[in-house]
Amino acid sequence: MAEPATLQISPSILAADFAHLAAELRAIETADWAHVDVMDAHFVPNLTLGAPVVEALARVSPVPLDAHLMIDDPDRWAPGYAEAGAASVTFHVEAAQDPVGTARAIRAAGARAALALKPGTPFAPYADLLPELDMVLVMTVEPGFGGQSFMDDQLAKVRQVREAVRRHGGEIWVQVDGGVAQDTIGRCAEAGADVFVAGSAVYGADDVAAAVAALRRAAAEAV
């Protein structure tokens, strides 16, 4: 597997202290992104935050925001997260009626457009969407809650996406989210991922900056 062009760490604030989010964002200033999980209690059985909070976080975050929308009707709502200040907006293909139009609307609003796939969703039917995308997210747990165990069987999908990106050309990132930690990130990188979402592996550590550095080092060593 060819080495990805970039290796980026995106800590998930789902594992952060919601009472002190500004401070929790400052703690990950050495990361590349802050991953913001938006859940509506419909597409997934959990409820987190919405566009007004993303807008507030964008004003104080030292790193760009990567909004992961686990919501119904992203065709309607996704562009608003770009307008709220998210630099990358990810929507689930399972919830989108018009993925091409949604991706184009996100880009038109000034953000990177990304497509997410749940563990049970194959990538092949959506490979022709790559020209509209800046990133593909392969979920390595069922979306909805943090702290779940990493699903090794999703690495085959990561490889499939990386190979499709290689054939397509251009710079399209491959992101993994779910159970990413010191003992799993290497396998993800080896499979072709280059953006790594980690929640408890970062915010559960005594030294958040050291945890980010250790994850980055483990990913680099694998490729």
List, by residue number, the catalytic residues: 37, 177
The whole-angstrom separation of Cα 168 and Cα 69 is 25
Could you give the C-alpha distances from 97 to 2, 51, 72, in angstroms and in order?
33, 21, 10
The whole-angstrom separation of Cα 223 and Cα 206 is 27
Q: Which amino acid type is present at position 195?
A: V
Question: Helical H runs in the chain?
Answer: 21-26, 51-60, 74-83, 99-108, 155-168, 185-191, 200-203, 208-222
CA angle at 201 for the pair 196 and 133, rounded to the nearest 5°: 20
The whole-angstrom separation of Cα 182 and Cα 25 is 21
Adjacency order of strands within the sheet including 112-117: 8-11, 195-198, 173-177, 135-139, 112-117, 88-92, 65-70, 34-39
Could you give the C-alpha distances from 57 to 70, 81, 207, in angstroms and in order?
18, 12, 22
Query: Quick one: how many helices (H) and strands (E) in the chain?
Result: 8, 8
